[in-house]
Chain A
Amino acid sequence: MADAVKNVHVSDEIAIQIVAMNKWYGEFHVLRDINLTVYKGERIVICGPSGSGKSTLIRCINRLEEHQKGDILVDGIPLTNDLKKIDEVRREVGMVFQHFNLFPHLTVLENLTLAPIWVRKMPKRDAEELAMKYLTRVKIPEQAKKYPGQLSGGQQQRVAIARSLCMSPKIMLFDEPTSALDPEMIKEVLEVMVDLAQSGMTMLCVTHEMGFARQVANRVIFMDQGQIIEQNSPKEFFENPKSERTKLFLSQILH
Chain B
Amino acid sequence: MSSAPKTSAYLRTEDAPLLPAPISMVGVQGWIIANLFPTIGNGIVSILAGAFLAWIGWGVLDWAIFSAVWSGENREVCAVEGAGACWPFVYTRFAQWIYGFYPIDQRWRVNICFLVGAAALIPMLMPSMPHKKWNALFLLIAYPLITLILLTGGHFTMSAAAFLNAFIILALAATFLPLVTFGIEEGIRANRIGFGLAGLGILVWLASFVIGSSIWHSALGSFAPSSIGAAFFIGAGGLLGIGQLRGAANSSAQASLRNWLIAAAVLFGLMLILKMDFGLEEVETSQWGGLLVTLVVAITGIVASLPLGILLALGRRSKMPIVKTFSVIFIEAWRGVPLITVLFMASVMLPLFLPEGVNFDKLMRALIGVALFSSAYMAEVVRGGLQAIPKGQYEAAQALGLSYWKVMSLIVLPQALKIVIPGIVNSFISLFKDTTLVSIVGLFDLLQIATTTSNDAKWASPQTGSTAYFSAALIFWIFCFSMSRYSIFIERRLNTGHKR
The interface of chain A, by Cβ under 8 A from chain B, is: 62, 64, 82-84, 87, 90-91, 93-95, 97, 99, 101-105, 114-115, 118-119, 147-150, 160, 163-164, 167
The reply to whether B401 and A150 form a contact with Cβ atoms under 8 Å apart is no
Do the beta carbons of B401 and A119 come within 8 Å of each other? yes
* B4 interfacial by beta-carbon distance below 8 Å: no
A167 to B401, CA, bound (A): 9
Check if B499 sits within 8 Å of A149, measured CB to CB.
yes
A101 engages B402 (CB within 8 Å): no
Contacts of A101 in B (CB 8 A): 390, 392-393, 395-396
Q: A83-B183, A105-B418 are in contact. Are A64 and B498 (CB under 8 A)?
A: no
| CB-based contact B411/A90 at 8 Å | no
Tell whether, in the assembled complex, residue B500 and residue A148 are in contact, meaning their CB atoms are under 8 Å apart: yes
The 8 Å CB contact of A87, one of B403, B410, B415, B418, is B403
Of A82, A84, A104, which is in contact with the most chain B CB atoms at under 10 Å from its CB?
A104
Q: A87-B403, A115-B402, A119-B401 are in contact. Are A102 and B396 (CB under 8 A)?
A: yes
Contact across chains for A150 and B414 when beta carbons are under 8 A apart: no
Among B396, B410, B496, B500, max chain A CB count under 10 A is at B396
* Residues 389-415 of B contacting A (Cβ, < 8 Å): 390, 392-393, 395-403, 406, 410-411, 414-415
Is the C-beta of B355 less than 8 angstroms from some C-beta in chain A? no
Task: Answer whether residue B497 sits at the interface, using C-beta atoms and an 8 A cutoff.
Answer: yes
Residues of A close to B396: CB separation below 8 A: 95, 97, 101-103, 160
Q: How far is the CA of A115 from the CA of B411 in the complex (A)?
A: 11
Q: Whole-angstrom distance from the CB of B284 to the nearest CB of chain A? A: 47
- B406 adjacent to A118 (CB under 8 Å): yes
Determine whether the beta carbon of B497 is less than 8 Å from that of A114: no
Fill in one digit per residue for B464-500: 1 if any A CB lies within 8 Å of its CB, else 0: 0000000000000000000000000000000011111
In the assembled complex, which residues on chain A have CB atoms less than 8 Å from the CB atom of B403?
87
Instruction: Say yes or no: B400 contacts A114, CB within 8 Å.
Output: yes
In the complex the two chains form, what is the Cα distance from A223 to B315 in whole Å? 39
* Distance in Å: Cβ of B457 to nearest Cβ of chain A: 60
Q: A104-B498, A147-B496 given as contacts; is B183 within 8 A of A84 (CB)? A: yes
Chain B neighbourhood of A167, CB < 8 A: 400-401
Contact A105 B497, beta carbon cutoff 8 Å: no
Closest Cβ–Cβ distance, residue B391 to chain A (whole Å) = 9
In the assembled complex, how far is the CB of residue A88 from the closest CB belonging to chain B, in whole angstroms? 8
Per-residue CB contact flags for chain B residues 94-109 toward chain A (1 = under 8 Å, else 0) read 0000000000000000
> Which of B183, B410, B500 is in CB contact (< 8 Å) with A104?
B500
Chain B residues with CB under 8 Å of A64's CB are 395, 398-399
A104 touches B400 (CB 8 A): no
Cβ of A105 and Cβ of B496 under 8 Å apart?
A: yes
Closest-CB distance, A101 to chain B (whole angstroms): 4
Assembly CA distance A119 to B403 (angstroms):
8
Given contacts A147-B498, A149-B498, contact A105 B401 (CB under 8 A): no
Knowing A97-B392, A101-B393, A118-B410 touch, does A62 contact B496 (C-beta < 8 A)? no
Note all chain B residues with C-beta closer than 8 A to A150: 497-498
Query: Which residue of B398, B496, B497 is within 8 Å of A90 (Cβ)?
Result: B398
A248 CB → nearest B CB, Å? 32
